[in-house]
């Protein structure tokens, strides 16, 4: 499990703060706050708490810059454990919107960072398979992600001695998001060469080679993509999907039926209200999406139909990163005086933007359910939380079972 690596031990106010927070968690305190002045080593205190409690941990930061800094620090503290990075995978993001005063429809426009996509997939895989995991995330962790049950159900299990041929395996790989390519540097791809399949997962640097003898899997091993040398041999192995939003053919068919039912009811409602232009627009856009879903299993803006794929009821919370953790995990909210107001505001901002899209016939009402968690839903999904801030807000002060101060720095200096 967790093994903290550092040249220095706790000093200043750190030992007392670590002991107090650990006692609080073991006493089932649900909310605690660490008040630490700048330079007091709050991240080191957090790392010591993690090492002492040995719990999977989610660290939420208010922005990407601070998240990257925390990720680097935790990687240094836990070099032999699993430290993951989970932030929005967009380098640029312009959300879909409609401005009725100008009759201006703005299409969604985004630049996706493939490296961040791979890091998110690595996070989901690690959270489902390891206990010694620290995930450093931005507040995007409360945004909708794929159903964790689908993520597990779509795993591909390969075993030495199993009856299977390369063509069958290729079809299975395609179903979980892999594309066939001869480019060995492309993650999320596979290639076939005779009786061998090489797989390049998104969540690791090593490739996986599967060798067949006829219709039997003969060997499975990882290899270095640069020098092609064998690294480790396996008797059995799990290949995980390449993308978060992965689903089964049956769920696609169910979603199409459900979307058609919602469309019919919504068109009747709009026509009763005399909104014939909006009804025509919604019908045309949705039927086009349904055609793509029927033929390709995908359409632009598919996330707006996530409720239908997940089988959720209207208003039910979406699946997020939090749902991938087991119940017994620890949450730190860093710079909570900034992060908590962000967590509170996200649902309202998303709802406000989508209101015009729904009212003017650009989206079905189910688009409302492709959303971040409300703050109340977030609190229900977390077990024990430690807020970390030099200046905690009123919420943290009012809800915390104890406030732990870290004033004296490891250097022995205090604020003037």
How far apart (Å, rounded) are the C-alpha atoms in residues 156 and 160?
13
Least confident of 111-120, 211-220, 241-250, 362-371: 241-250
Q: Would you state the pLDDT for residue 415? A: 54
Least confident of 93-107, 146-160, 227-241, 313-327: 146-160
How far apart (Å, rounded) are the C-alpha atoms in residues 178 and 152?
16
How far apart (Å, rounded) are the C-alpha atoms in residues 368 and 307?
9
Kindly tell me if the per-residue pLDDT of 384 is higher than 90: yes
Check if the beta carbon of residue 20 is closer than 8 Å to that of residue 404: yes
The residue among 360, 229, 366 whose CA lies nearest residue 306 is 366
The residue among 86, 81, 128, 126 whose CA lies nearest residue 323 is 128
| Average pLDDT over every residue of 48-55 | 98
Give the other-Cβ count within 10 Å of 243's Cβ: 16
Distances 136 to 69, 335, 368 between C-alpha atoms, Å: 10, 13, 27
Least confident of 155-164, 294-303, 313-322, 348-357: 294-303
Task: Give the pTM.
Answer: 0.88
pLDDT, one tens digit per residue, over 155-211 is: 899 999 999 999 999 999 988 889 898 876 678 899 999 999 999 998 888 999 999
Kindly tell me if the per-residue pLDDT of 279 is higher than 70: yes
Q: Would you state the pLDDT for residue 132? A: 97
Mean pLDDT, the chain, whole residue set: 93
Domain 14-144+314-406 has CATH 1.10.10.10: no
> Which is it for the CA torsion 54, 377, 355, 271, positive or negative?
positive
For the chain, domain boundaries:
14-144+314-406, 156-239, 249-310
Q: What is the DSSP letter of 102?
A: G
| Average pLDDT over every residue of 212-225 | 95
Q: Would you state the pLDDT for residue 209? A: 96
The residue among 324, 336, 327, 320 whose CA lies nearest residue 59 is 336
Task: Tell me which of 3.30.2060.10, 3.40.50.300, 3.40.50.1110, 3.90.1150.10 is the CATH number of domain 156-239.
Answer: 3.30.2060.10
pLDDT, one tens digit per residue, over 249-269 is: 888 999 999 999 999 999 999
Q: Would you state the pLDDT for residue 184? A: 67
Q: Would you state the pLDDT for residue 218? A: 96
Residue with tokens 């996986």: 208
Check if the beta carbon of residue 286 is closer than 8 Å to that of residue 317: no
């Amino acid at each position: 499990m967790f093994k903290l690596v550092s040249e220095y031990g706790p000093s200043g106010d750190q030992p007392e703060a670590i002991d107090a927070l650990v006692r609080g968690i073991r006493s089932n305190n649900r909310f605690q706050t660490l008040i630490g002045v700048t330079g007091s080593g709050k991240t080191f205190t957090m790392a010591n708490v993690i090492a002492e409690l040995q719990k999977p941990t989610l660290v939420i930061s208010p922005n990407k810059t601070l998240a990257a800094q925390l990720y680097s620090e935790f990687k240094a503290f836990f070099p032999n454990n699993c430290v993951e990075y989970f932030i929005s995978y967009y380098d640029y993001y312009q959300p879909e919107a409609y401005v009725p005063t100008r009759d201006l429809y703005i299409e969604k426009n985004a630049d996706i960072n493939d490296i961040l996509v791979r890091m998110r997939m690595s996070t989901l895989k690690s959270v489902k398979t390891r206990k010694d995991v620290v995930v450093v995330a931005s507040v995007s962790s409360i945004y909708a992600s794929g159903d964790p049950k689908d993520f597990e159900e779509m795993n591909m299990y390969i075993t030495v001695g199993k009856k299977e041929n390369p063509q069958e395996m290729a079809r299975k790989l395609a179903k979980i998001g892999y594309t066939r390519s001869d480019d060995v540097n492309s993650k999320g791809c596979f290639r076939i060469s005779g009786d061998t399949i090489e797989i390049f997962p998104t969540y690791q640097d090593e490739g996986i080679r599967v060798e067949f003898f006829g219709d039997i899997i003969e060997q499975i091993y990882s290899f270095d993509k640069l020098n092609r040398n064998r690294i480790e041999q396996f008797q059995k192995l799990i290949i995980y999907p390449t993308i978060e939003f992965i689903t089964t053919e049956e769920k696609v068919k169910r979603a199409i039926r459900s979307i058609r039912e919602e469309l019919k009811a919504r068109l009747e409602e709009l026509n009763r209200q005399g909104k014939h232009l909006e009804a025509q627009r919604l019908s045309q856009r949705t039927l086009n999406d349904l055609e793509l879903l029927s033929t390709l299993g995908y359409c632009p803006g598919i996330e707006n139909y996530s409720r239908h794929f997940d089988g959720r009821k209207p208003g039910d919370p979406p699946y997020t990163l939090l749902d991938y953790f087991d119940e017994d995990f620890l949450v730190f909210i860093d710079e909570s005086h900034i992060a908590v107001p962000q967590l509170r505001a996200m649902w309202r901002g998303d709802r406000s933007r989508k209101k015009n899209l729904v009212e003017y016939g650009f989206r079905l009402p189910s688009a409302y359910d492709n959303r971040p968690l409300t703050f109340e839903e977030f609190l229900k999904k977390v077990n024990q939380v430690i807020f970390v801030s030099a200046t905690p807000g009123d919420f943290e002060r009012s809800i915390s079972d104890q406030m732990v101060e870290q004033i004296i720095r490891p250097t022995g200096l205090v604020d003037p």
